[in-house]
Amino acid sequence: MKRALGFALILITVLCLAFCYWYVNKQHRLPTSIHDLPSDKNKAIASVNISPIQEKKIYETLIAYGMVTTIPSEAQILSVPFESVIQKVLISEGQVVKAGDPLIRLEPSPDTRLYVEGIMNKRDTAKSVYRLLKRKFALGLATKEDLVRAQQDLRMAEERVRNIERRGIDGITTIRANKPGIVSRIMVQQGQIVSAGSALTELIGEDKIRIRLGIENEDLPKIHAGEDVRLYPVNTAFPKAIKGHVTLITRKVNPKTRLIDVFVTPKSGSHLLLDEYVQAKIIISSHRALVVPRSAVLPEHDGYVLYTVKSGHAVRHTVYIGLENDKEVEIIARGLSKGEMVVTTGNYELSDGMPVKVDKAS
């Protein structure tokens, strides 16, 4: 009985060892036919979007922000030639005016009125003296020299009166625009007494508007007078580009912004608003090159890579980058040409030779 039990245990042990040996060999055995080889169907497939490599002109831009303003040397200042009281301001800042439009109505101040009355009185006195001497000369009671002197005094007094009348000092005067433009500043208000020569308002021609940009000091060497600029009003939902060019590069730090002021002249008819904020894209370089979307190029260590798609698989390429802007980048690499498809979305999960499925091609 004991011998039979021992034999059964040995048999069971042998069978267990045999089963284990068979199972292990089954898991690690080499493929014996092509059907046992792994296929792409069993590998992970990445979903990607692709876009063709283009050969075109690429523009490298420098983005800056600024404000629509005027240059003092190109503004027209309207002033008053005598001390006056502002009776009424007929305009508003930012208003577009035509030549001849009324701007400000004013009248002589009390002191000016006294001055005018004094001039008038001197003329009347000179007239009376001249008439009296003329009668005396006829009676032989005055010399010709006295008569000539009285006549000269009368002429001078009358010329002063005509000068007052030409300058409008004798009544209400309306200051008018002598050419079309935009009212950029108003320096007075109703009821104010202004001295002779004081500025009343400032006009700027629509073709004299400038954009003052703030540029970082390290970016200044990249900018040159005459370079093309694209301007975009900041507060517009879908702004259209307004062409312009760099006209003035200052060499002084603006104490308010701590940036360098660069002035841009917009294209005529741009209809920009004074004091409006704008974004500027200054074109600092351009040439023809192979160009891809920025999203196609991935940083790797000290360089860059991108992936193309060939026969349903990802192909890795090491590239150098040249000019770039906020949408596109120039690529420099051997083996790449115009029209090849590069991966723009899904490329972060790719490796060389990995199967891919194209979801969208642009």
Question: How is residue 99 written in tokens?
Answer: 């030549």
Q: Which residue has the tokens 């642009």?
A: 362
Q: What is residue 35's predicted lDDT score, i.e. its pLDDT?
A: 44
Residue pair 86/196 in contact by the 8 Å Cβ criterion: no
Neighbours of 122 (CB within 10 A): 17
Per domain, the residue ranges of the chain are 46-58+288-361, 62-72+208-286, 73-204
* Main-chain phi, psi angles of 247, to 5 degrees: -115, -25
Per-residue pLDDT of the chain (362 residues; tens, 9 = 90+): 555 555 556 666 666 666 666 655 554 444 444 344 445 445 678 899 999 999 999 988 899 999 999 887 788 899 988 889 999 999 999 899 999 999 999 999 888 888 888 888 999 998 998 898 888 888 888 888 988 898 898 899 889 888 888 877 777 889 999 889 899 999 999 999 999 889 999 999 888 889 999 999 999 998 999 999 999 998 877 788 899 999 999 999 999 999 999 999 999 888 888 889 999 999 888 899 999 999 999 998 889 999 999 999 999 999 999 988 888 999 999 889 999 999 999 999 999 999 999 987 77
Q: Which of 71, 75, 76 is closest to 248 using CA atoms?
A: 71
The C-alpha atoms of residue 282 and residue 68 are separated, in whole angstroms, by 16
The C-alpha atoms of residue 74 and residue 79 are separated, in whole angstroms, by 16
Neighbours of 23 (CB within 10 A): 9
Q: Report the CATH number of the 62-72+208-286 domain.
A: 2.40.30.170
73-204 architecture in CATH?
Beta Barrel (2.40)
Q: What is residue 33's predicted lDDT score, i.e. its pLDDT?
A: 43
From the number of C-beta atoms within 10 Å of its C-beta (0-12, 13-18, 19+), residue 276 rates as: middle
Q: What is residue 17's predicted lDDT score, i.e. its pLDDT?
A: 66
Q: What is residue 21's predicted lDDT score, i.e. its pLDDT?
A: 62
pTM above 0.85, yes or no: no
SS3 167: coil
Q: What is residue 102's predicted lDDT score, i.e. its pLDDT?
A: 94
Neighbours of 334 (CB within 10 A): 7
Which residues, in sequence order, are bridge partners of residue 342? 51, 308
Which residues, in sequence order, are bridge partners of residue 249? 262
The H or E element containing residue 29 is none
Rounded to the nearest 10°, the torsion over CA 32, 38, 41, 43 is 170
Calculate ∠ Cα 176-177-183, nearest 5°. Answer: 115
The C-alpha atoms of residue 179 and residue 158 are separated, in whole angstroms, by 33
The C-alpha atoms of residue 326 and residue 282 are separated, in whole angstroms, by 13
Residue pair 247/210 in contact by the 8 Å Cβ criterion: yes
Fold of 46-58+288-361: 2.40.420
